[in-house]
Amino acid sequence: MNRRLITFAILAGLTIVSCNNTIKEGEPETTITETVKDTTNLLVGSWVQPNPINDKEVQGFLINSDGTAESINMATLLYKKWWQEDGKLILIMESVGNGSSSIDTLKYDIVKNTTTELELKMGDYTDKYTRQ
């Protein structure tokens, strides 16, 4: 069970990091293909995806403007902090459960980051989120 949570945490982190886009000068801000130099404001908010264990629920994370992060519907995977650096979303998370805990730093490439969609990639894994 702990291995499943760690795998999920890694996948969630990858999804977050892969959403780096920049807005080009003179291009409308409402297009999905837009890119932004600093996506920090687009990252702030709640990002969720279907829960693979219970399809009636969602899970994900909340990114706060003060650099803190929180888990959404994940009792054993606790997001703590976040920042953006060089097109990556970095998340600090704590995995708790089975009487032990560990803290990890996850670095995701930001593949897509719009007002409604976030796509993160870590290695070969891509994770997609929608704004809640």
Q: Which domain holds residue 39?
A: 2-131
Where does the chain have alpha helices with state H?
2-17, 40-43
Q: Is a pLDDT exceeding 50 seen at residue 48? A: yes
Number of domains in the chain: 1
Q: Is a pLDDT exceeding 80 seen at residue 53? A: yes
Distance CA(15)–CA(8), nearest Å, equals 11
Angle, vertex CA 123, rays to CA 84 and CA 7, nearest 5: 90
Look up the pTM and report it.
0.69
pLDDT at 26: 52
Q: What is the mean pLDDT of the chain?
A: 81
Q: What is the pLDDT of residues 91-122, one digit of tens each?
A: 999 999 878 899 999 999 999 999 999 999 99
- Which CATH number goes with the domain that contains 33? 2.40.128.280
